[in-house]
Chain A
Amino acid sequence: MSRLVEIIQSEDDALRHQSLQSVIGACTSGELLEHCAALENFRRNEQNLYARVRALFFLSAIYRYHLPATLEAEQVTSKGLIPFDGYEHLLARRFGEAIDSFLMDQTNDGPSDALASALSQAYHQLAFQTLADQVRRSVRTVRGNQWMFRIGHPADHPLRLRRELLAADPTSGAMPLLCETTAVRMDLSHSAWSDIFFLGMDYPSGARVLNISVDLGVRGRDSQPRPPIETYLRVIDQPVFRLASVDLKASADVTTIGEMFDFARDYLGLLKAAVIAAGVVPPGLEGCGRPMHELLQRLVGPGMGLELVSKINDIPKGSRLAVSTNLLGSLISILMRATGQIQSLTGGLEETERRLVAARAILGEWIGGSGGGWQDSGGVWPGIKLICGAESGEGDPEFGVSRGRLMPVHEVFDEQRASSETRQKLQDALVLVHGGMAQNVGPILEMVTERYLLRSESEWQARGQATEILDEVVAAIESGDIKRIGAATTRNFEGPLQAIIPWATNRFTDRMIDACRQHYGDRFWGFVMLGGMSGGGMGFLFDPAVKPEASEWLGKMLVTVKTEMETALPFAMDPVVYDFSINDRGTWSELRHGNEAMMPDRYYQLMLPELLRTPLRDLPVHRRGELQAIGRRCAEDQLDATASTLLLQSVLPKEDSSGDNDESLQELLDRIGFDVEQHEQIRSDLKNGRIGLSQNRLMSSTTIRDVSSDHVVDLRRGGTAEASKLGEEAIRGGEVAVMTLAAGVGSRWTEGAGVCKALHPFHRFAGRHRSFLEVHLAKNRKSAKAHDGVIPHVFTTSYLTDGPIREHLKRHEHFGFRGPVHVSTGKSVGLRMIPMIRDLFFLWQETAQQVLDQQQQKVRESVRSALMNWARSAGEGNDYTDNLPGQCLHPVGHWYEVPNLLRSGVLKQMLDDQPTLRYLMLHNIDTLGANVDPAILGSHIERGSTLSFEVITRRLEDRGGGLALVDGHPRLVEGLAMPDERIEFDLTYYNSMTTWIDLDGLLAAFELKRDDLGDTAKVDAAIRRLAKRLPTYVTLKDVKKRWGHAQEDIFPVAQFEKLWGDMSALPEVDSNFFVVPIQRGQQLKAQAQLDAWNRDGSSDYIDSLCDWNA
């Protein structure tokens, strides 16, 4: 038996917790493949799901981190193409078939880097799918949840509304109103994310969280903290299910059961998930096709309906206080009270009832396609509690499947364990803030799961330390020593948490902690990371003597630092400081009658305009009564001044603020030289179907084949000694410069947040976070020093990145870089457009798309139909202007950045300053490995061609074109232009974008000479001439629109671009293609890649190319 299988199956902790590395650290590629074969065989036959998952993670890690490095060391070079059918299986989530396909190719052609990347991805996804399936199964088999999946028709509905809610007030006629208030939760330590479901179920003894229910108020806005979550339920005299979210300003009358399952149709998805999880519309009814009134008739009575309202007191998204899970809990609780599933209609809940609510909240999160940890519904419980994983025993549905149960155990601290004095002291010392960043914590949770299963030594030790720190925090609470809590949580954050996940912190958080230390010294007691990562909700502990002052100071400091960094990091809002207090009663409900049975004032601001538009006689009786009640309250001065003003404002016309927006967009367009004529031409082409996603493609009659070894120069083992010498001399002679393309806003990097990617401090090098820009300068410094030359560095920018980059370079004084640094300002800009429906169809249906997990896929389909409606109603092909001006514009593709260098006069200046310049290395901002390597430069000089493109062998994630023989000529083909997606999989090489340019050759391609660069008209004409010969691609990009309190919507918008790689198609431009090592050519496109990039040795490689000493 393979040693790895033994580890997986062992009941002995010492063996079971052994790391993968310890077994395969010194294996040859052959031995690694033997291990893989044994694991593959094991995972196919093993019944126990957890054993299977661990085997899958072992396989994924071997193929991702170990096999490629071993193949590299053994100098095994194979072509390694990824079979397209395997890729298609992978996208469609047929993981088993995908693995079979990749393994068959591996058996036939031998192992390769490309196949290893595909196998790793397939095993990784299968592992998470298996886990998700298990959690889903566990959620469904929790007793008390099962029946909801069996109900298939509203006539079978077994719930009835409690009679108390049906008794109208005899005098006013108002229906009683059930109100529930719920706290949110804050965790002082989660023992290194041990609240991930899978961890709790696999390692219950290590799953412990110290969790506190808190009331909140925004400092300076609210007079005192109160439970942030309020939910309301009442019977209405219309047979509809009315849902309303006061904060998101959304309401809907749900009239069919199907609509309740359409989560993305509006902003009411969470309320819908709660209605379903509470069993009011049981999940088994999905697809039954019945009207809602049939169900309501059973549940409430003929002609009657329900109204469910939520309010979270404007707590912004990303607070890391589990607002959404606790809101879900509150909604579920109120609905279960109303249907008698919870005995207590009013007051607090019993422990069994809280557990029931928590189990349903887990179900609700799964139904809504979101996910949270098992501690998140902590706000439903009172006060301070320790939440622990529990071993599964006989009678549990998990017994025999997993070591732990899905549902943890809550130990609420009584007065003895946490005295009132301690509670008060904690409130007096802790400042809760929202730093303003709203990031997706999902990838972090996946990384934690993977780390846990691989049991890498340092990370496993860190998990042990985190567990000890939790004990320390508990002891500190029991002894009332708040300072010790601060010390422990800081140690937790800076030690084990970052050892396991370096991305738990970022430059913003580090700077804030440093600032606190510097300003308050010993009186700063420590930092608490809340939830999955820092940057959003965070806690800072101060000496109570300085806390009031420190809160003020912190509020200002957060805004200052945020303002400095907002172009580099994705902030969703301005930071805020909260006032908080510990909530010692848990979720609480009361039933209001008569004149007391009024919804919150903000509800009426939302509903009033619509109500007033309807003639009074058409309103249902209850609505009329309600309006009269509001009128009475206004007349009798029962409403406070702000509430009545807001009410009045809601019905009176407001000044149109969108005008300002349009104006500033127009100003911006004028200022940056927007070409209206070209824009109208493109719009008309787009509308008429002359350009579009399908028109991007080359004619299907074009023959596209893979290149042979004759068409490329293989530099993977370095260049010749002569070439190196040539290169070194060129550097010494001042013949080469570096051009870094930094015009992009990193659409994929920040999922459309529109920050300057070049400035993103993405990784810690030499002790602190460094940006892409700083890394590129550090590499340049090292090359220049090594060969005693001067390498000018130019960053090309766009309207979006120009200001921030210039300011950043100035503030940091070029990071001590001694050579010339230039910024070439982009002069070309496009205005985004509403996409054409046919392009959306093409993107979602014609191109191969990643299918999501069953429930998430349902949600995505619902989002897509909503987006189609948006495009239709906003007008296909119209200008996209409903966003910040910066988000409405787009850079027009990297091809323009080279002409811009000519147009902006920067090239002229560089040549004037350093007339010896002959070569330019152009590279993307995210190609971190690209440096001025003398051997490659020399190879370019030796061949004397105009352009030398660097290509790499392809990994699974390298999509988007490659090097091909097009009708017999080698050239780079963009992914957009591939007539058939399958073709890309037959191409060995992927374009890294790094290009060595012979400056005089390039000028010749523009029909220019060095002397012409001063003649703007001539340069402009030359650029237009060449631009016409290059294809224009239409693309759809995701752009975020922010609104409300850190809420974000993502829209696909149409834009056009011209791409640099198409230069290789020009017959008069002499091009070469260099094959370089993957580490040199790989690009960091998405933040999700960072972790693997860091772990496979790439970050160390980059570090070795850099010189950080100014």
Chain B
Amino acid sequence: MQVRKAVITAAAPNQSRIPTQQLVNREGKDKSALQLIVEEILSSGVEEICVVIRPDDQEVFEQAAGNLIGSLHFATQASPNGYADALLQAQSFVGDAPFLHLVGDHLYLSTAEQSCAKQLIDVAAEFSCSVSAVEATRENKLPYFGIVSGTRVPRHEGVFEVQRVSEKPTPTLAEQELVTPGLRAGHYLGFFGMHVLTADIFESLEQVNADASVPHATLSDALDAFRTRHQYMAFQVAGSRYNLGVPYGLLMAQLAIALSGRDREQILSEMVELLAQRAPIIHDQSEQKA
């Protein structure tokens, strides 16, 4: 299975500005978040990328892409009808080919030699099926992620055959139905924001999108339908993800990139200096009241 195409979704109402944020990469060069994501994708052998955006956002994204604009296509989601609907906008771009899918507000740092995207594509190629990247996630993070449960595939470290998919489950449901053996208590396989999907996914996306009982259907809803008809795996990637959409998300991502790159020493010494300064005491107003 050859993966030549990729889809980035960046059409969520609160998400469209994130890919344009400026960061410094491992080599000390200024890059936009979008450029970092696109570089991650291109490094894995993908040649064409489609970005799903809101109407009127294309100009901003084109600027953010800089010199990488040549690899990009754009598709627009006319109104915010959910994650599944956003992915469906890329259907004509993808055609029948398998594709890599990333969310537009995450950055990835691999701890292995290969990038996270490359690790995932290799597993998909080996099993010739859809694979989602996952990482062990503590239960307090359940309100933020899609969760899968599965059984380990023998002799393949970190690979699972998926049995259930649930978007942002309650811990009660997770404990009853989403426990994966071999993880620590209270930990589940949470989506990493990166998937390799076969074109069969569009059938499931259309199915859940058409279901009136599921308002704003998500990719998780589609994958839970998908797994009943197609082989579907999950893979624990050797790496970390950084969500840029949460408070201090950008800062943490930047620190992680910088500390794993050329300027590590410089950053560390500047951080020590910062720490040595006497921190001003700032009271939270609500705590004062309490």
* B92 contacts chain A at the CB level, 8 A cutoff: no
Which residues B152-192 have CB closer than 8 A to chain A?
A: 168, 170-176, 179, 185-186
Taking a contact as CB atoms closer than 8 A, the residue among B171, B176, B186, B290 that contacts A159 in the complex is: B171
- CB atoms of B143 and A160 under 8 A apart: yes
B215 CB to nearest A CB, Å: 10
Taking a contact as CB atoms closer than 8 A, the residue among A150, A151, A293, A341 that contacts B172 in the complex is: A341
A254 CB to nearest B CB, Å: 13
* B286 contacts chain A at the CB level, 8 A cutoff: yes
Residue of B nearest to A339 (CB): B170
B162 CB to nearest A CB, Å: 20
Most buried by A among B140, B172, B173: B172
* B139 contacts chain A at the CB level, 8 A cutoff: yes
- CB atoms of B286 and A158 under 8 A apart: no
Taking a contact as CB atoms closer than 8 A, the residue among A156, A291, A341 that contacts B173 in the complex is: A341
- CB atoms of B171 and A147 under 8 A apart: yes
* B142 contacts chain A at the CB level, 8 A cutoff: yes
- CB atoms of A158 and B170 under 8 A apart: yes
A144→B286 CA distance, assembly (Å):
33
A341→B177 CA distance, assembly (Å):
12
- Neighbouring A residues of B143 by C-beta, 8 Å: 158-160
- CB atoms of B186 and A147 under 8 A apart: yes
Interface of B, secondary structure class, is helix
- Neighbouring B residues of A158 by C-beta, 8 Å: 139-143, 170-171
Given A341-B170, A341-B172, A356-B172, verify A151-B290 contact (CB < 8 Å): no
- CB atoms of A146 and B185 under 8 A apart: yes
- Chain A positions 248 through 271: 1 when the CB is less than 8 Å from some CB of chain B, otherwise 0: 000000010000000000000000
A160→B168 CA distance, assembly (Å):
10
- CB atoms of B140 and A156 under 8 A apart: yes
B189 CB to nearest A CB, Å: 16
Which residues A149-191 have CB closer than 8 A to chain B?
A: 150-151, 155-160
- Chain A positions 129 through 144: 1 when the CB is less than 8 Å from some CB of chain B, otherwise 0: 0000000000000011
- Neighbouring B residues of A146 by C-beta, 8 Å: 175, 185-186
- CB atoms of B140 and A340 under 8 A apart: no
A216→B5 CA distance, assembly (Å):
66
- Neighbouring A residues of B175 by C-beta, 8 Å: 143-147
* A555 contacts chain B at the CB level, 8 A cutoff: no
Residue of A nearest to B138 (CB): A156
A255→B287 CA distance, assembly (Å):
12
A151→B143 CA distance, assembly (Å):
14
* A318 contacts chain B at the CB level, 8 A cutoff: no
* A496 contacts chain B at the CB level, 8 A cutoff: no
- CB atoms of B172 and A147 under 8 A apart: yes
Which residues A280-302 have CB closer than 8 A to chain B?
A: 291, 293
A383→B29 CA distance, assembly (Å):
71
B211 CB to nearest A CB, Å: 15
Residue of A nearest to B170 (CB): A341
* A279 contacts chain B at the CB level, 8 A cutoff: yes
- Chain B positions 135 through 147: 1 when the CB is less than 8 Å from some CB of chain A, otherwise 0: 0001111110000
B197 CB to nearest A CB, Å: 27
A812→B171 CA distance, assembly (Å):
66
- Chain A positions 356 through 385: 1 when the CB is less than 8 Å from some CB of chain B, otherwise 0: 100000000000000000000000000000
- CB atoms of A147 and B139 under 8 A apart: yes
The number of chain B residues touching the other chain, given as a range, is 20 to 34
- CB atoms of B186 and A144 under 8 A apart: no
- Neighbouring B residues of A151 by C-beta, 8 Å: 139-140
- Neighbouring A residues of B286 by C-beta, 8 Å: 239, 293
- Neighbouring B residues of A291 by C-beta, 8 Å: 287, 290
A1018→B22 CA distance, assembly (Å):
108
- Neighbouring B residues of A279 by C-beta, 8 Å: 171-172
- Chain B positions 16 through 29: 1 when the CB is less than 8 Å from some CB of chain A, otherwise 0: 00000000000000
Most buried by A among B140, B168, B179: B140
Taking a contact as CB atoms closer than 8 A, the residue among B142, B170, B173, B186 that contacts A150 in the complex is: B186
- Neighbouring B residues of A336 by C-beta, 8 Å: 172
- Neighbouring B residues of A150 by C-beta, 8 Å: 139, 185-186
A148→B143 CA distance, assembly (Å):
15
A146→B138 CA distance, assembly (Å):
14
- Neighbouring A residues of B139 by C-beta, 8 Å: 147, 150-151, 158
- Neighbouring B residues of A155 by C-beta, 8 Å: 140
Which residues A887-910 have CB closer than 8 A to chain B?
A: none
Residue of B nearest to A343 (CB): B173
Most buried by B among A151, A158, A336, A341: A158
- Neighbouring B residues of A157 by C-beta, 8 Å: 140
- Chain B positions 260 through 290: 1 when the CB is less than 8 Å from some CB of chain A, otherwise 0: 0000000000000000000000000011001
A291→B186 CA distance, assembly (Å):
25
- Neighbouring A residues of B171 by C-beta, 8 Å: 147-148, 158-159, 279
A150→B172 CA distance, assembly (Å):
12
B136 CB to nearest A CB, Å: 15
Residue of B nearest to A297 (CB): B286
- CB atoms of A293 and B170 under 8 A apart: no
- Neighbouring B residues of A356 by C-beta, 8 Å: 172, 176
A633 CB to nearest B CB, Å: 33
Residue of B nearest to A146 (CB): B175
A279→B172 CA distance, assembly (Å):
9
- Neighbouring B residues of A339 by C-beta, 8 Å: 170
Residue of B nearest to A340 (CB): B170
A1047→B179 CA distance, assembly (Å):
45
A781→B140 CA distance, assembly (Å):
76
B96 CB to nearest A CB, Å: 36
- Neighbouring A residues of B176 by C-beta, 8 Å: 143-144, 356
A540→B141 CA distance, assembly (Å):
55
A255→B185 CA distance, assembly (Å):
31
- Neighbouring A residues of B141 by C-beta, 8 Å: 158
- Neighbouring B residues of A239 by C-beta, 8 Å: 286
Which residues A870-902 have CB closer than 8 A to chain B?
A: none
A338→B138 CA distance, assembly (Å):
23
B131 CB to nearest A CB, Å: 27
A338 CB to nearest B CB, Å: 11
A146→B184 CA distance, assembly (Å):
13
- CB atoms of A159 and B140 under 8 A apart: no
B167 CB to nearest A CB, Å: 11
- CB atoms of A159 and B185 under 8 A apart: no
Most buried by A among B138, B171, B179: B171
A164 CB to nearest B CB, Å: 11
A256→B81 CA distance, assembly (Å):
39
- Neighbouring B residues of A145 by C-beta, 8 Å: 175
Given A291-B290, A293-B286, verify A144-B140 contact (CB < 8 Å): no
Residue of B nearest to A290 (CB): B290
Residue of A nearest to B171 (CB): A147
Residue of B nearest to A156 (CB): B140
- Chain B positions 119 through 143: 1 when the CB is less than 8 Å from some CB of chain A, otherwise 0: 0000000000000000000111111
A753→B143 CA distance, assembly (Å):
52
Residue of A nearest to B168 (CB): A160
- Neighbouring A residues of B173 by C-beta, 8 Å: 144, 341
- Neighbouring A residues of B290 by C-beta, 8 Å: 255, 291, 293
22 contacts across the A-B interface (CB closer than 8 A): A143-B179, A144-B173, A144-B176, A145-B175, A146-B175, A147-B171, A147-B172, A150-B185, A150-B186, A151-B140, A156-B138, A158-B139, A158-B142, A159-B143, A159-B170, A159-B171, A160-B143, A255-B290, A279-B172, A293-B290, A340-B170, A356-B176
Chain A residues with a Cβ under 8 A of chain B: 143-148, 150-151, 155-160, 239, 255, 279, 291, 293, 336, 339-341, 356
Q: A156-B138, A159-B171, A255-B290 are in contact. List 18 more A-B contacts (CB 8 A).
A: A144-B176, A146-B175, A146-B185, A146-B186, A147-B172, A147-B186, A148-B171, A150-B139, A158-B141, A158-B142, A158-B143, A159-B143, A160-B143, A160-B168, A239-B286, A293-B290, A339-B170, A340-B170
Chain B residues with a Cβ under 8 A of chain A: 138-143, 168, 170-176, 179, 185-186, 286-287, 290
Q: Identify the 10 closest CB pairs spanning chains A and B, nearest first.
A: A156-B140, A147-B171, A341-B172, A144-B172, A341-B170, A291-B290, A144-B176, A158-B171, A158-B142, A143-B176
